[in-house]
Amino acid sequence: MPDGMIAGSVTARPPRVCVGIATRGRPQQLTAMLDNLARQTMQPERVIVCCSGPDDVGALHGTANLQIVYEKVGLPRQRNGILRALPEGTDIIVFFDDDFYPDARWIETVAQAFQSDSSINCVTGHVIADGIIGPGYSKDEALACIAGHDPSTSDWILENESPYGCNMAFRCSAISGLSFDEKLVLYGWLEDRDFGASVAKRGGRHIRLGRAFGVHLGVKGGRVSGRKFGYSQVMNPVYMHRKKTMTTSQVITQISRNLAANCVKSLRPEPYVDRRGRLIGNLIAALDLLRFRLTPERAASL
């Protein structure tokens, strides 16, 4: 048993695991991700894909273990649609982004962690390469990165970790009655941290597991405009502070880091990031806050 793991009650039968994927406007990427998911050493009982319409899934159709559900656009709303579609008796829900490629043992490793300690309520994997902070990775680059990673270098566990939405898992009994905040509209900036903080209030361990690793491709297509995203970068942390799912220091750090990056990089923006749009969104949110308007949902109408 790895260092940091605590033995608790062990479930005799294998846990019932479902995977949820919220997607929009990237049917080819979704198909490639599902093909990769078929490599898992422990297959989920069901994969639930939530999208806004048939065009989001292309030629895919529902099967015995693939369920397609429809919700209005918005990551938190779509993840809530996944939660509502969970089969009765599901033990673990895994959320993957449609551009996250997990190591073949990801689900098995996470399921074993939940089984080994009944106090674990949330597990986040280890992102060994994250294309979201750069131009992104291709499928072949991601698979090569995973194949070249030495798992022995990731035999660690970090405690009290906020979940990262591209690869996170929850014990279903620990999230019963909870939902993602649908006021965090569209891309749902920080919705994973907000949901994780709500779960953490119920107690239990929240860990980042090094042996559950993968690559986040950071595909740029299908994401919201820079102005909408920039608005959420400022408004959402303040809204979450009011909800007590972010501390004052976390809010200051989050907003100042994003604002500084958008100011500096607007002079010579990356070709794959709308920095000027983000900066305009930052300023619109700041003006709304100066008018005492706490309206994260306004991002959808900008």
pLDDT along the chain (302 residues), means of 10: 46 87 95 96 97 93 92 96 97 97 98 97 98 93 97 95 97 98 95 97 97 95 85 98 97 97 94 94 98 96 93
Span 28-80, pLDDT tens digits: 999 999 999 999 999 999 999 999 999 999 989 888 899 999 999 999 999 99
Question: 113: closest CA among 125, 100, 130?
Answer: 125
Provide the residue ranges of all domains of the chain, joining segments of one domain with +.
17-216, 226-301
Question: 21: closest CA among 47, 45, 2, 57?
Answer: 47
Q: What's the pLDDT at 141?
A: 97
CATH topology of domain 17-216: Spore Coat Polysaccharide Biosynthesis Protein SpsA; Chain A (3.90.550)
Beta bridge partners of 167: 96
| 9: CB partners within 8 A, 6+ apart | 118
Q: What's the pLDDT at 50?
A: 98
Q: What's the pLDDT at 222?
A: 64
Q: Classify strands 17-22 and 46-51 as parallel, antiparallel or unpaired.
A: parallel
Q: What's the pLDDT at 73?
A: 92
Specify the residue for token string 């030629």: 59
Using only C-alpha atoms, what is the Rg of the chain? Answer: 19
Contact 27, 83 (CB under 8 A): no
Amino acid at 219: V
The dihedral of CA 250, 184, 265, 218: what is its sign?
positive
Q: What is the DSSP letter of 300?
A: G
Residue 84 in tokens: 């509502």
- Distances in Å between the Cα of 90 and the Cα atoms of 31, 55, 83, 153, 171 are 24, 29, 10, 32, 9
- Spatial distance between the Cα atoms of 70 and 76, rounded to a whole number of angstroms: 13
Contact 192, 163 (CB under 8 A): yes
